[in-house]
Amino acid sequence: MKSFLSISIVFFATLGSTFAQSKQYLKEEADDYFKVGRYWDAFFLYKDLAKVPEFQGDLSIENQIKNSSRAMYLWKKTEDYRAFRKYEIAKKHLGDLLVINPFDPNRGLYPRLTLEQANEMQRLAMSQRSPQAIADILTKAVKLYNLALDEGLKDEMVFSLIKQCENVLEKNQYSNIKQPTSYGINFEKEKEAERTRTVEIIKNL
């Protein structure tokens, strides 16, 4: 009898421990969903966890329910404003999303939105008839291209686009662009960084 009672106690203790572990696993799964940008899945899993007695009143769960809902809203707005070419507003929403989740898989879109805005400005400049307007808009485009690089964009095409703008600006009477151009400065920085990496690799061979 004592043996049966001991086995029963061990069984239920193990069962309770396993159940607790499974609930903790669900929380980790919800956290993983959130981290990789699966906000819809995370939202409903957090909602289910909030009904479990152990997690009722847990502020971290309640906050993640709110964060998941807001993340879905911010991403939708980012896509909508990008589609309407409202790049500044799209970046604002994406920036707010990245505050909530710095690991969002779409974080690389942030400098891309700046690049798209710069492309738009460059096309707009080329459609102008006034040399003054061309100079003003192309100058803004160059600043945006450089901003995209500062934001971490890794695309050598940007240097060519900057060069295109600056070639036009150099011939424009309303532009005060001087040599060396930002294209030349940034290009040399990239080349110097590449040379440094090559030297380090050779040293480590």
13-43 pLDDT, tens digit per residue, is 444 444 455 678 889 999 999 999 999 999 9
User: Residue 115: what residue type?
Assistant: L
Predicted TM-score (pTM) of the model is: 0.75
In a domain, 12, yes or no: no
Q: CA torsion 105→111→112→118, rounded to 10°?
A: 170
| Last residue within a domain, chosen from 66, 90, 107 | 107
In a domain, 64, yes or no: yes
Mean per-residue pLDDT, 159-176: 91
**Does residue 3 have a pLDDT over 90?**
no
What's the Rg (C-alpha) of the chain?
27
**Does residue 195 have a pLDDT over 90?**
no
**Does residue 12 have a pLDDT over 50?**
no
| Last residue within a domain, chosen from 71, 92, 107 | 107
In a domain, 8, yes or no: no
No. of helices (H) and no. of strands (E), the chain = 8, 0
**Does residue 4 have a pLDDT over 50?**
no
Q: Residue 177's domain spans which residues?
A: 113-205
Q: Are residues 118 and 190 in the same domain?
A: yes
In a domain, 80, yes or no: yes
